[in-house]
Structure 1
Amino acid sequence: MSTSAPSPTLKEIAEIAGVSVGTVSAALNDRPTVSPETRARVMDVAISLGYAFKLKPRQQNDMQIGVIGLLIKHDLGLAWNINPFYSRIQLGVTNTCQRHNISLMVANIEVDASNHPVQWPAMIDQQKIDGLIMAGAFIDDTVQMVRRKSDLPIVLVDSYAPNLQCDSIVTDNLGGARKAVTYLIENGHTRIGLAGWNPLSPPSIHQRKRGYLETLSEYGLSPFIVETELSRLGGQEAAWKLLGHERQVTALFCCNDETAIGALNAIRELGLKVPQDISIIGFDNIDLAGETTPALTTIHVHKSWMGSLGVQALIERARNPLQPKITTVLSTDLVIRDSVAHPSF
């Protein structure tokens, strides 16, 4: 007989969130004595740890949402691995559905090189859901196709559809990139490379590149950009090009942690050390970022919180279908670990 893992205690949540047990209790019970920033941090930790929230009785105006569908994008031809970013978003969706006594169906949708669906999941074709969360960078045409196939409220998570009337939950990618590059500059770096961007990158990565360029421009510094895919292989390629024949940069800003991990591996192969010879900073703060050698300095994205807010936005949209389009932008946090130091040359 299988048993579920025990729910974390308030003390465990408090230790990770860096607050008191009383603050955790107040945040989880939605008391007004807790600031929005602290409440967000506590809820993010609680959701990540699988805290068992008390179920709320279904209100009369909640009845429109009995089953939520979570649709996660997957690029055709890529291996089916657990995505460290979207798995956290899924965790936030799952826990918040449990809190509201809502059933959840999860499916992947494969898209081709043009970001168009290859095949539709059964939950959409057979209209088994009352509302849909789409996680990932979908183009407007794909979102519009979903709307035509099923007249459902849709919320986009980590996705943009500026020409459609869809609520969105996104990250302040521009601000996060500015934090990362500013931190490198404050540590004495003036030659900073960018890895993990290319012209076909999703909007979130274009925003991270924009934050990189804007910050360098403000300090009168020149960019060093290597166009690569957003992956470990992309990070390896960027490191080889920027450091292989001559050390063109003293630091790398990688557009996500997977790219940064690839760069770490390549730098090790080149006989260089992080951060003694080259500094690296990532983006997303996936679980593995704290386990690399050295541990990766990165920008924390509130991934579980994005999923949780996606569910809440869907419930609110079902209650008030005529309300204006709402885009929620979540702030980011700089997580300082061991991969950044002052340049050695």
Structure 2
Amino acid sequence: MKVKVTMQDIADRLNISKNSVSQALSGKDGVSEETRQLIIDAANEMGYIYSRGRKSTEEEVGTFAILASEFAFSKRNFFGEIYLSIEKEAAKRNKRMVIQSIDKHSSENLILPPILLDQSVEGILILSHITNPYIQAVTNTGIPTVLIDHHHPDLKADSILTNNRYAAFTAVQHLIELGHTHIGFIGNIQFSPSYYERLEGYRLALYQAGIEYNPIWVIDRVVEEMDDVLNAVQSLDKQPTAWFCVNDGFGFLINSVVYKLGYSIPQDVSIVSFDNGQLSRITTPLTTTMDVDLSYFGRKAIEQLFWRIDHPEEPFVEILLPSNLIVRESTQHPNS
């Protein structure tokens, strides 16, 4: 009895992904014409029966997994929009998304979801950071993986990131152009590599403008809670005339603290934050912030995951996405 030739057989013969074979034989975009012809020739030679230009009867909806910590999933305004974009882009490519929330016990004990252990997913997206050892355990499965809004030298995976250094540089440069020279930084650089990179962007902007770096005004290990921020700012001998905040949460807290200390915004203190989330849009006055295109995050993540599936041996890459300054009422010249 003649054995039925499958797409996987063709993929194994050509050392490419089954997804590439499916795209080529169903007439979809996503593979080069050279690769498409190579696949068609191999299919004909091996006796595979397909209908060119129509969806193959063998082609089924594939599955991608999206992993994140419980904390990341709780940030619905930020990661929720990224997920919706991912789901939409995946559906266009005949893929469904399976969500896996990773709790603290699983992350500490490197307990992977069953769908990863039984290799029932074709690709993995990881939102934000879990722990580096846990992400390493995920990538060790050999399943193509793309990180979103997180990277680390120890992690062997592609990353989709905001260009944090340049974005922070732009934010602080805005304050400098308004005339500020006493500019504070606030955030927790231990929480995320992104925040450390934003500190580097802050320092670069000061350096380029010839403004002396004052470590007293750099609060880089404070918890994102009102009491902690208030105590940290209140303890300063001299207040800066402007603050760069690593995210909108810190921007919201600095806004409240400045008022508690008897200052006005922006007459006495200007504030720039990061992300253009809901908190930047409900403060009084509205907060100047760096806008991150969350939908674009999702689109690029799916594009890169498909690319990685088709190019498993290529070097890992980091894709830096731009962000834009949105000027609102929280910033002005210090003497206006």
Q: TM-score range by the shorter chain?
A: 0.7 to 0.9
Q: Does 1:316 align with 2:307?
A: yes
Q: Give the corresponding residue for 1:103.
A: 96
Structure 2 matches for 1:73-112, cutoff 5 A?
Answer: 73-75=69-71, 81-111=74-104
Q: Which structure dedicates a bigger proportion of its chain to helix? A: 2
Question: Residues of 1 paired with 2:121 and 2:321: CA distance?
Answer: 27
* Equivalent position to 2:195, from 191, 205, 212: 205
Provide, for residues 19-56 of structure 1, a one-character-per-residue CA deviation record: whole Å limited to 9, x for no partner. xxxxxxxxxxxxxxxxxxxxxxxxxxxxxxxxxxxxxx
Q: Does 1:343 align with 2:324?
A: no
* Equivalent position to 2:204, from 214, 217, 223: 214
Of the structure 1 ranges 137-146 and 170-179, higher mean CA displacement relative to structure 2 is found in: 137-146
Deviation at 1:222, TM superposition (A): 2.8
The question of whether the paired residues in 2 share the 8 Å contact of 1:196 and 1:231 is answered with yes
User: Gaps (5+ residues) in structure 2?
Assistant: 1-52
Question: Residues of 1 paired with 2:221 and 2:289: CA distance?
Answer: 19
Q: Give the % identical residues.
A: 28
AA partner of residue 264 (structure 1):
N
Deviation at 1:217, TM superposition (A): 2.4
Question: Residues of 2 paired with 1:58 and 1:272: CA distance?
Answer: 67
Deviation at 1:104, TM superposition (A): 0.6
Q: Does 1:144 align with 2:136?
A: yes
The question of whether the paired residues in 2 share the 8 Å contact of 1:275 and 1:340 is answered with yes
Deviation at 1:181, TM superposition (A): 0.7
Question: Residues of 1 paired with 2:269 and 2:231: CA distance?
Answer: 12
Question: Residues of 2 paired with 1:67 and 1:87: CA distance?
Answer: 19
Question: Residues of 1 paired with 2:253 and 2:111: CA distance?
Answer: 32
Question: Residues of 2 paired with 1:101 and 1:214: CA distance?
Answer: 44
Provide, for residues 128-160 of structure 1, a one-character-per-residue CA deviation record: whole Å limited to 9, x for no partner. 422100111245422221133x33110111111
Structure 2 matches for 1:205-284, cutoff 5 A?
Answer: 205-218=195-208, 219-223=210-214, 224-229=217-222, 231-233=224-226, 237-238=228-229, 240-243=231-234, 247-284=238-275
Note closer, same or farther for the CA distance 1:311–1:265 as it changes in structure 2 (3 Å cut). same
Note closer, same or farther for the CA distance 1:242–1:316 as it changes in structure 2 (3 Å cut). same
Larger radius of gyration: 2
* Equivalent position to 2:173, from 169, 177, 182: 182
Deviation at 1:269, TM superposition (A): 2.4
The question of whether the paired residues in 1 share the 8 Å contact of 2:110 and 2:134 is answered with no
AA partner of residue 288 (structure 1):
L
Question: Residues of 2 paired with 1:251 and 1:226: CA distance?
Answer: 13
AA partner of residue 239 (structure 2):
Q
Note closer, same or farther for the CA distance 1:64–1:163 as it changes in structure 2 (3 Å cut). farther
Q: Does 1:165 align with 2:156?
A: yes
Q: Give the corresponding residue for 1:72.
A: 68
Of the structure 1 ranges 120-129 and 166-175, higher mean CA displacement relative to structure 2 is found in: 120-129
> TM-score of the superposition, structure 2-length normalised?
0.74
AA partner of residue 126 (structure 2):
M
Question: Residues of 1 paired with 2:257 and 2:313: CA distance?
Answer: 52
Note closer, same or farther for the CA distance 1:84–1:166 as it changes in structure 2 (3 Å cut). same
Question: Residues of 1 paired with 2:116 and 2:329: CA distance?
Answer: 45
The question of whether the paired residues in 1 share the 8 Å contact of 2:276 and 2:292 is answered with yes
Deviation at 1:299, TM superposition (A): 0.7
Structure 2 matches for 1:6-17, cutoff 5 A?
Answer: none
Question: Residues of 2 paired with 1:122 and 1:294: CA distance?
Answer: 48
The question of whether the paired residues in 2 share the 8 Å contact of 1:65 and 1:315 is answered with no
Deviation at 1:180, TM superposition (A): 0.7
Question: Residues of 2 paired with 1:182 and 1:104: CA distance?
Answer: 40
Note closer, same or farther for the CA distance 1:320–1:227 as it changes in structure 2 (3 Å cut). closer
User: Gaps (5+ residues) in structure 1?
Assistant: 1-56
AA partner of residue 93 (structure 2):
H
Deviation at 1:118, TM superposition (A): 6.5
Note closer, same or farther for the CA distance 1:294–1:232 as it changes in structure 2 (3 Å cut). farther
Deviation at 1:126, TM superposition (A): 5.1
The question of whether the paired residues in 1 share the 8 Å contact of 2:223 and 2:229 is answered with no
Structure 2 matches for 1:281-292, cutoff 5 A?
Answer: 281-292=272-283
The question of whether the paired residues in 1 share the 8 Å contact of 2:119 and 2:143 is answered with no
The question of whether the paired residues in 2 share the 8 Å contact of 1:111 and 1:118 is answered with no
